[in-house]
Structure 1
Amino acid sequence: MTRNFLYSLVLIFGGLLVVLGQEQDSLSIKSSMVSTKEAFKLDLYDPLAPARSAFYSAVLPGLGQAYNGSYWKIPLVYAGIGTSMYLVIFNDKQYDRYREAYKRRLAGFDDDEFQGILENDGLINAQKQFRQNKEFAILATVAFYLLNIVDANVDAHLRQFDVSRNLSLRPNFEPNYLSGNVDYGLTLNFKLN
């Protein structure tokens, strides 16, 4: 009886170990599946991310770069837009100075700041030059603003580009056993998992 009791205890204990082991394996498989699903959720392609990033940059320059995580580009965006806006304001003030002096001369006054330095033709040419500079600065401001939007969009697209080890391009050097020379080549490897 003790022998049968001992055998039955061993069988029950062994069966429990097998069942618990299988349960533990199924739990670890389920947890690995959950973590794999979560990993895929993080790496899924978001088709609206580039449009969202471009929209953010259109609303507030630099916000799309912040959305993409390219914080180092934000000072460049503001430096470009700020410098060109400064040039717009500076050239506008200079244009107004020369225009006001020319208008005073036409009204018959001889007390402008350019008296004895510039003639009327010089004032007209200075006005044309500063107006042209102001227009170029306005175009530069618009160009930096649009470049900010395009950069945010392209950066968001490139962040979703697959650069995993499944895609690789390597140089290949193989000996040619027939001629004794080395053959050079390029191999493109990709794995479909």
Structure 2
Amino acid sequence: MISSSFKFLLTTLFVLMTFFAKAQTDTTLTNTPDSVEVIDVERGTVTGDVENVPVPVDSAYIHSPKKATIMSAALPGLGQIYNKKYWKVPIIYGGFAAAGYYLNDNLKNIEKYKDLYIAETDGDPNTINNTNFTTTDLTRIIDQYKQWRDLSYIAFAVIYALNIIDANVDAHLFYFDVSEDISLNIMPYMSPVRSQGVGFSLSLKL
């Protein structure tokens, strides 16, 4: 029972950290050839003006990473609501609930085995250690539960910190729009200067 509780707590922490890290990244898979022949060709000159098209933002509303960070620090999950990532809120509080459950269980067991230790060592015949644990065993068990109690506190701190980091990163990426129609094409290329200059070109479509 003791080892399984410890493993479950560590698993819960690992899953939460992996989930938040995964939630921040979008992976685009592209196919590239095993080998590409590179031919030295003369390059032409492209002239013209480059127009930077700004992302349309409602001037009456600017999404603030600072505000999202402060909100999540004040109340976990509030920054996620501000970022419109509502589905993350139950995950955050599920993590807190799991850490709270094991913290409470560890505290109860510390008190339980402390009482048994006292019953074994106080010399009072009315107090009985009704287990087969010796004082050495009881001391070891108490120390183990204290370590797991500390891990429960650390779990609270990690979940709280991840909640703040997640809100901050999501707020910074709030206006970042990646089109679903992203493709990387490999096309034949012929130099406009020398007709004999051929090769391949890569075209990234956004």
* Runs of 4+ residues over 6 Å off in structure 1: none
Distance 2:149 2:61 in 1: 43
Q: CA deviation at 1:117?
A: 1.6
Segments of 5+ residues of structure 2 without an aligned counterpart are: 1-54
Q: What residue is the counterpart of 1:42 in the other structure? A: 58
Distance 2:82 2:127 in 1: 52
Q: What residue is the counterpart of 2:14 in the other structure? A: none
Contact map agreement 1:91 1:131 (CA 8 A) in 2: yes
Q: How many residues align?
A: 148
Contact map agreement 1:173 1:182 (CA 8 A) in 2: no
Q: What residue is the counterpart of 2:86 in the other structure? A: 71
Q: Any residues of structure 2 matched to 1:8-87 within 5 Å, and which?
A: 40-42=56-58, 46=62, 49-87=64-102
* TM-score normalised according to structure 1 size: 0.65
**Pair 160,111 (structure 1): closer, same or farther in 2 beyond 3 Å:** farther
Higher helix residue share: 1
Which amino acid letter does the alignment assign opposite residue 124 of structure 2? Answer: F
Q: What residue is the counterpart of 1:22 in the other structure? A: none
Contact map agreement 1:88 1:138 (CA 8 A) in 2: yes
Which structure carries more relative contact order (alpha carbon 8 Å, separation 6+)?
2
Residue 158 of structure 2 corresponds to residue 109 of structure 1? no
Q: CA deviation at 1:97?
A: 0.5
Contact map agreement 2:120 2:128 (CA 8 A) in 1: no
Structure number, greater radius of gyration: 1
Which amino acid letter does the alignment assign opposite residue 58 of structure 2? Answer: L
1:127 pairs with one of 142, 154, 173: 142
Contact map agreement 1:57 1:149 (CA 8 A) in 2: yes
**Pair 112,83 (structure 1): closer, same or farther in 2 beyond 3 Å:** farther
Segments of 5+ residues of structure 1 without an aligned counterpart are: 1-38
Q: Deviations over 1:39-82 (max 9, x none)?
A: 94527883x71111111111111111111110100000001111
**What RMSD in Å do the two structures reach over aligned CA positions?**
3.2
Q: CA deviation at 1:185?
A: 2.1
Q: What residue is the counterpart of 2:187 in the other structure? A: 174
Q: Any residues of structure 2 matched to 1:141-160 within 5 Å, and which?
A: 141-160=156-175
**Pair 110,43 (structure 1): closer, same or farther in 2 beyond 3 Å:** farther
Q: What residue is the counterpart of 1:185 in the other structure? A: 202
* TM-score normalised according to structure 2 size: 0.61
**Pair 84,60 (structure 1): closer, same or farther in 2 beyond 3 Å:** same
Q: What residue is the counterpart of 1:20 in the other structure? A: none
Q: What residue is the counterpart of 1:6 in the other structure? A: none
Q: What residue is the counterpart of 1:12 in the other structure? A: none
**Pair 50,172 (structure 1): closer, same or farther in 2 beyond 3 Å:** same
